[in-house]
Amino acid sequence: MRGRLRTSLRGWGGVGAMAVVCALAVAFVLLLPLTQSHGDGSTGTGGPGVTHAVQAADDDPCTDPAIKAAPEKQTLSPSGADGATIEKIKARQGEKRKLIVGVDQNSYRWGYRNPNGGANADLEGFDIDLVHRIAQDILGDPNAVQFKAIPTNQRIPAIQQGRVDMIVRTMTINCSRLADVAFSAPYFKTGQQVLAPKSSDITGYNDTLARKRICTAEGSTANTKLEDDKKAGELVSSAKISPPVPNQLDCLVRLQLGEVDAVVTDGALAASQAAQDPTVELKGTPFTTEYYGVAMKQDADDLVRRVNRILVDYRQDTTDGWQASYDRWLSATLDKDSAKSEPPTPQYLRKS
Amino acid sequence: MTHPPKSSAAPPGSGVPTMPSVPTQAKPPAPAPQAPPPAPVPDPAPARRTAFAEGLDQVRAAATTEPGRLRIIGAALALLVVLFGAVTAWQTDDRAAAADDVLNKSQPLSNAAADIYRYLADANTAASSGFLAGGQETAASRERYEEDIDKAASGLVQAASNSDPDSPAAATVTKLNRLLPEYKGLVERARTYNRQGFPVGGAYLRYANEKMQEEMLPAAEDLYTSENQRLRADYGDATPYPWAAIGLGVLALAALAWAQHRNYRRTNRVLNHGLVAATATTTVVLLWLVVGHTVARAGLNDSYDHGVRSLNVLHDARIASLKARGNENLTLVARGAETVTKKNAKGEDVTYDAYDYDFNTDMDALGKGLAAASKLADDDTGGKPVTAAEGNMKVWKERHTAARAQDENGNYEAALERVIGAEGATGECFDSVDKNLDRALRHEETEFEQAAGDGLDAMTGLSVGAAVLAVLGAAGAVLGIGRRLSEYR
């Protein structure tokens, strides 16, 4: 019986293979325009008349070496003038007259709900201070803000779908994100760093990561960097990149439960994690240099210029500005001295 | 009682003692046994034949004489009555055992499984509410959480002791028993970090929630489903009519009637004590069987229609309200982090908050469940709490809409107050819905127990009674025929 079945199937092998090849070809042809249109999405959101340097470089900002080297310079010069975007925000009525901002509620001292913060349990942290400052400037009330908690991998979709006006959430400015959103000038300097238990033999981003399980957040710079480095052979090939988690803080949970051996995230955030657990520490020095920026919709030129102007003021303000916020939130977990975290004087190379 | 024989049906060879001393008669002359019988000649069969064939020959030979026939009839009657008794005892015993399982095993287990689900979901909601409160959890929410965990754990012990080893239910219980301490450990860590003011406590709570939502609750739902299937199977075993026993009973009665009629025709005697007794006991057993089973069946069907169906609907409604409450809390915990895109009535894509969308789905399920429950509720005591729960649900929906409006306007604290606050919050409505559903469930449970208990009672003693009476009946038949036989000595 089995023999007969086998002989009856034998003739179908070639036909089956051909059918599979045909199906694959059709699927490929059907999917090709999809992948392309995804890349073109940025052009669409750019709107008519918006032709920045980004688009000149074959739609992918990363192909331009100048942009790739210094993506944080691709922003518009500061201006206090109201445009279409700001007017729309100001036109919100009554209770809705609020700036809608995507933040994190899990980053210790950046944006989080302090469980001991009293009955209101307001969000607080370095990012949150900046949000209040922006709201104060645009709407005249620091508390005219609707906070939305946005997971790491939802930051770009949230802006593109208009669910938020801006994202202030330890978001690194990089060239590939420039294809999807517009960034303000940098407001913080950091770099990727390795976090591991003090007792671990990991010494930094090097061969000691061999056979270690590494945790990253989904859609984070760290995740992209690790995947790229592994492909390029710059990360030891036996290092295992664990399935990414929704939030960098979830990595600390996995680390404590022994499900991973190390965490790679921004140094600023890694320091926040270390501050919550005295048995872990930062290993080695930052192996990248990155800047945090406020992300906005790509055609929100007036808002980008406005935020850049607010940032200039914020950094000059010595009593209640950038430095005061740093001292309040970050000096305990990062360096006492803020020099390492201060971004350079911004350049505004984006022309339109 | 014994009438003198009348001419027509005179017993063949009356007055002649023709009791054959040997069952086998080699070649009996047709009309009447001869006296003296010829010496039994061992049948010089050319080849050895099977015992059955020889037995058949013997029977055939016996059937040629009246005493032989009487013996065969007596044996057949006794056998039939005993067989009827045995089948009755066996079939009713099976059904009584299944009915007993329904009342004392599978229904309580199905209830226990629903409770395990409820306690787990409620514990998770209590834990996330504690986190939502921002500050430290209140004594009340902590107590509720601990109580839920304790009850879920003891429910699991009960389920474990009642499930057959190697069954899928046992595997599910084992899985839940393994996950529960893991979950509890995560929540404890969350508590500790929360006290220290570290947001990693919230991350632990999210991890615990994930474990609950993605592993534990689905397992608990599986357990509930499989226990419910078992309940239905037990009902299926308890309620069908015992046709084999009934058929045999009718057959036995018919045979007894025929034998008595034959007796009357041959002897003109109307009544034979033994056969009458056999007929009487057989009739009693058959009536007892049919009436007892019909009553039991009615009781069981009643317990299903008015108990189990209501209980299922109420359990489902309660689970829906728990899920809705959990999602309502998570909407505020997640703060817009997760969205889903669904087509609206016009076929346009609309983006919703994922948890709020699930909340609405759960509330729809709750509404449907309550409507079905109020349709099934057959008395005031059962209907009142359901109606009250429907009222609570309406208020809940109104308050939820108000809370959502606050959240949409960016008044997070106001929204929080309307969901987990002390007064006028949706939490009150949820608690009321839960309390009323609990009341309705307890009522339906009592109804179930009453009806199923009545059903089970109707089967009491049936199998033993049937066995004893059948033996008596068979004895009667043998004695009755024996009396006739003695007339041939």
pLDDT band at A56 (very low <50, low <70, confident <90, very high): very low
* Gap from B362 CA to chain A (nearest CA, Å): 24
Helix (H, G, I), strand (E, B) or coil at A31: helix
A137-146, B39-48, B340-349, B422-431: which range is least confident on average? B39-48
What's the whole-number mean pLDDT along residues B196-215? Answer: 88
Same-domain check for residues A201 and A58? no
Predicted local confidence at residue A10, as pLDDT:
52
Q: What angle do CA B57, B60, B65 make, to 5 degrees?
A: 135
Say how far apart CA B465 and CA B467 lie, in whole Å.
5
Q: Is the pLDDT of residue B121 over 50?
A: yes
Say how far apart CA A215 and CA A305 lie, in whole Å.
36
CB-CB under 8 Å, B200 with A253: yes
Q: Who has greater pLDDT, B327 or A30?
A: B327
Tell me the average pLDDT of chain A. 84
Residue pair B65/B428 in contact by the 8 Å Cβ criterion: no
Same-domain check for residues A164 and A295? yes
What CA dihedral angle connects B367, B371, B372 and B376, to 10 degrees?
A: 150
Domain count, chain A: 2
- Residue A27 placed within a domain: no
- Residue A19 placed within a domain: no
B349 CB within 8 Å of a chain A CB: no
Same-domain check for residues A172 and A234? no
Q: How far is CA B423 from CA B133, B399, B404, B408, B417, in A?
A: 14, 11, 17, 21, 9
Q: Which of B275, B246, B277 lies closest to B261, judged by CA?
A: B275
CB atoms within 10 A of CB A18: 10
Q: What is the pLDDT of residues B366-382, one digit of tens each?
A: 999 999 999 988 788 88
A221 CB within 8 Å of a chain B CB: no
Predicted local confidence at residue A94, as pLDDT:
87
For residue A227, give its domain range: 192-283
pLDDT band at A282 (very low <50, low <70, confident <90, very high): very high
Domain boundary among A283, A299, A321: A283
Helix (H, G, I), strand (E, B) or coil at B298: helix
Q: Which amino acid is at B430?
A: F
**How far is C-alpha B276 from the chain's CA centre?**
40
CB-CB under 8 Å, B198 with A250: no
Predicted local confidence at residue A17, as pLDDT:
52
Find the closest chain B residue to A94 by CA distance: B409
Helix (H, G, I), strand (E, B) or coil at A345: coil
Residue pair B396/B424 in contact by the 8 Å Cβ criterion: no
Q: Say if strands A240-241 and A280-283 run parallel, antiparallel, or are unpaired.
A: unpaired
The most distant pair of C-alpha atoms in chain A lies apart, rounded to whole Å, by 89
Same-domain check for residues A184 and A199? no
Q: Counting beta carbons within 10 angstroms of the beta carbon of residue B345, is it exposed (0 to 12), middle (13 to 18) or buried (19 or more)?
A: exposed
The contacts of residue B59 (CB under 8 Å, 6+ apart) are: B72
Say how far apart CA A271 and CA A214 lie, in whole Å.
17
What's the whole-number mean pLDDT along residues A265-271? Answer: 93
Token pair, residue A95, equals 């209770």
Same-domain check for residues A165 and A305? yes
Say how far apart CA B170 and CA B212 lie, in whole Å.
19
Say how far apart CA B351 and CA B341 lie, in whole Å.
4
Q: What is the pLDDT of residues B443-484, one digit of tens each?
A: 999 999 999 999 999 888 888 999 999 999 999 999 998 888
Which uninterrupted H or E stretch holds B339? strand B339-343
Q: What is the pLDDT of residues B328-370, one digit of tens each?
A: 988 887 777 677 888 877 877 877 888 899 999 999 999 999 9
* Gap from B343 CA to chain A (nearest CA, Å): 16
Question: φ and ψ at A282, to 5 degrees?
Answer: -75, 135
Same-domain check for residues A218 and A272? yes
What's the whole-number mean pLDDT along residues A198-219? Answer: 93
Cα-Cα-Cα-Cα dihedral sign, residues B392, B398, B399, B403: positive
A113 CB within 8 Å of a chain B CB: yes
Say how far apart CA A118 and CA A112 lie, in whole Å.
13
Domain boundary among A236, A262, A283: A283
What's the whole-number mean pLDDT along residues A239-254? Answer: 91
Indicate the residue of B197, B204, B335 with minimum beta-carbon distance to A148. Answer: B335
Q: Who has greater pLDDT, A121 or B17?
A: A121
Crossing angle for the helix pair B66-101 and B462-486, to the nearest 10 degrees: 180
Q: What is the pLDDT of residues B377-398, one digit of tens each?
A: 878 888 999 999 999 999 999 9
Same-domain check for residues A304 and A161? yes
Residue pair B441/B314 in contact by the 8 Å Cβ criterion: yes
Same-domain check for residues A197 and A264? yes
Say how far apart CA A136 and CA A314 lie, in whole Å.
12
Find the closest chain B residue to A93 by CA distance: B409
A333 CB within 8 Å of a chain B CB: no
Q: Which of B104, B182, B100 lies closest to B149, judged by CA?
A: B182
DSSP A338: G
The domains of chain B are located at: 74-480
Q: Is the pLDDT of residue B57 over 60?
A: yes
Half-sphere exposure of B122 (CA within 13 A, CB side): 25
SS3 content of chain B, % helix, strand, coil (to 5): 75, 0, 20
Predicted local confidence at residue A58, as pLDDT:
54
Q: What is the pLDDT of residues A57-71, one digit of tens each?
A: 457 888 888 888 899
Residue pair B336/A163 in contact by the 8 Å Cβ criterion: yes
Token pair, residue B90, equals 């066996």
Predicted local confidence at residue B19, as pLDDT:
43
The contacts of residue B398 (CB under 8 Å, 6+ apart) are: none
Same-domain check for residues A183 and A205? no
- Residue A26 placed within a domain: no
Predicted local confidence at residue B20, as pLDDT:
42
Say how far apart CA B224 and CA B332 lie, in whole Å.
30
The contacts of residue A270 (CB under 8 Å, 6+ apart) are: A193, A194, A195, A263, A282
Q: Which of A97, A100, A104, A116 to mutate to test the interface with B (most CBs of B within 10 A)?
A: A116
Tokens 């729960």 belong to which residue?
B389
Q: Is the pLDDT of residue B120 over 90?
A: yes
How many helices (DSSP H) and strands (DSSP E) are in chain B?
15, 2
Residue pair A77/A308 in contact by the 8 Å Cβ criterion: yes
Say how far apart CA B472 and CA B274 lie, in whole Å.
10
Tell me the average pLDDT of chain B. 85
Predicted local confidence at residue A306, as pLDDT:
96
Predicted local confidence at residue B371, as pLDDT:
94
Same-domain check for residues A99 and A165? yes
A302-311, B4-13, B106-115, B190-199: which range is least confident on average? B4-13
Domain boundary among A283, A301, A323: A283
Same-domain check for residues A109 and A202? no
Indicate the residue of B136, B410, B416 with minimum beta-carbon distance to A145. Answer: B410
Token pair, residue B328, equals 């309502």
Say how far apart CA B441 and CA B447 lie, in whole Å.
10
Q: What is the pLDDT of residues B399-454, one digit of tens each?
A: 999 999 888 887 888 888 899 887 889 999 999 999 999 999 999 999 999 999 99
CB-CB under 8 Å, B200 with A276: yes
Same-domain check for residues A61 and A79? yes
Predicted local confidence at residue B126, as pLDDT:
87
Say how far apart CA A130 and CA A122 lie, in whole Å.
15
